[in-house]
Amino acid sequence: MRAGVASGVLGTLAVATAAGSANAAEPVTQTLELPVLTGDVATQVAQSAQATQQAAANYQLDAERDAAAAAAAKEAKKDLAAAKKAEAKKKAEEARKAAAEAAVSRSTERTTLSTSASDSASTSVSAPASGSVATVIAFLKAQVGDAYVMGATGPNAWDCSSLVQAAFKQVGVDLPRVSQDQSMAGTDVSLSNLQVGDILYWGGKGSAYHVGVYIGDGQYLDAANPSKGVVIQDLSGYPASGAVRVL
């Protein structure tokens, strides 16, 4: 009986040992498969990293291209601005040359008008001093077409008072420089009794803001404004405030 029990115990131990051995073998099989799984994951990680690097490189390339395009556009804009500036300078130079040529032409006209002025004075001009008013009018008409520039004193650009001052200086009359003072010069004249050569003013006497010269037939000549320049205008369109006579 003891022998049978011992045999049974030994058999049970053998079975348990075999089962234990079988169970112990399973982790070995799983351990052998881990390197294969780890290798697949590493490959995927490497591929993902490579894709990320490629995307970053593409982004960098796009950024560089955008920067280059922006720089090229900025340079093109600068070139266009330079071209426009050069064109403007060219036009300004052409305008200056044209003005110089016009000045030469007017100078010739002044000489001709000055020569003939005294001959026409008795028929077209009412003047207290023989020939003086005609000389003033001839000078003024020779400036028609000149530019109006505030503060300018000729010979090709004037403001209203500098033109009047220069005209009367031709006959030895020294007028003040500004409109306010010119409205105080000479003798007051009624607007209904104007004579050629009378100085017209706009605004209050002593505070006038504009002056011109009456040239007859209801017209006056003045350096009007930057858009008109030196022109002849109808007095009815812009009635004067008052007038003074210095000749």
Q: Which pLDDT tens digit goes with each residue over 17-26?
A: 444 444 444 5
- Report the phi/psi class of residue 154: left, alpha or beta, with left for phi > 0 and alpha for psi in -120 to 50: left
- Amino acid 177 reads R
Degrees, nearest 5: CA angle 145-104-215:
40
Q: Which CATH class is domain 125-245?
A: alpha beta
- In 91-198, where do the E strands start and end? 147-148, 157-158, 187-189
Whether residue 116 is predicted with pLDDT greater than 50 in this model: the reply is no
Closest to 117 measured CA to CA, from 77, 155, 171:
171
Closest to 146 measured CA to CA, from 125, 167, 124, 120:
167
pLDDT in tens, 170-219: 999 999 999 999 999 999 999 999 999 999 999 999 999 999 999 999 99
Per-residue pLDDT averaged across 2-10, rounded?
A: 45
* Assigned token pair, 88: 């403007």
Which sequence spans correspond to the domains of the chain?
125-245
pLDDT at 48: 74
Strand order of the sheet with strand 219-223?
Answer: 187-189, 242-245, 199-202, 210-216, 219-223, 230-234
216's enclosing H/E stretch is strand 210-216
Phi then psi for 218, rounded to 5 degrees? 70, 20
The fraction of the chain above a pLDDT of 90, given in percent, is: 47
pLDDT in tens, 135-184: 999 999 999 999 999 999 999 999 999 999 999 999 999 999 999 999 99
pTM of the model: 0.50
In this structure, how many other beta carbons lie within 10 angstroms of the beta carbon of residue 243? 24
